[in-house]
Amino acid sequence: MVQLRSFFAICIVTIALGSVSCTLKPVASENYLIKNNLHQANIDSLGDGKILIYNGADPLLMGNDDRMNIWINGKPLGQLRSREYTVVDVGMGDCEFNLARRSLFLIKSNHTIKINPGTKVVSIDPVFVTNTMTQTNKLPSWLEKYAYVKSPEMAN
């Protein structure tokens, strides 16, 4: 009986430490976040280097798999969790995005998007062993369910 309790105690401690170690610490933003609110998020207010970035992760992901740290041209933007978005002015031309999230291990990916006057909306998504970034140029129909991230550190 004592061995069984010890086994369960070790399992609980291992699970607790494992879930804490999977947390990705947010990076502080060095990018210029555009002051906005949910009611003003419309496609006409975007473009010419001003883009909306949203995390399209499934909110049912286990643990903290949905938290994505983002760097733009080597500068940290911050962290977006599932159902969060932000608007940022990245300027025109080639823009390098670096994404990082923690699942069982750290998953990093690099993406380059050519920002032109018509670039408006970008989706980031964690998938099994990588991260994807898609230039969609249309707002998702469920954007009203998303939270706009305003603070420089973005997510907690």
CA distance 154 to 151: 5
Percent of the chain scored above 90 by pLDDT?
32
31 vs 89: CA distance, rounded Å: 8
Residue 42: pLDDT above 50?
Answer: yes
Tell me the residue type at 120: K
Span 117-141, mean pLDDT?
A: 89
Give the residue among 127, 104, 106, 107 at the shortest CA–CA distance from 58: 127
Comparison of pLDDT for 156 and 78, the residue scoring more? 78
pLDDT (tens digit per residue) in 56-83: 887 666 667 788 999 999 999 989 988 8
84-89 and 147-148 strand pairing: parallel
Instruction: Give the domains, in start order, of the chain with CATH numbers.
Output: 25-148 (2.60.40)
The pLDDT of residue 61 is 63
Q: How confident is the model at residue 39 (pLDDT cuts 50, 70, 90)?
A: very low
What pLDDT score does 65 carry?
77
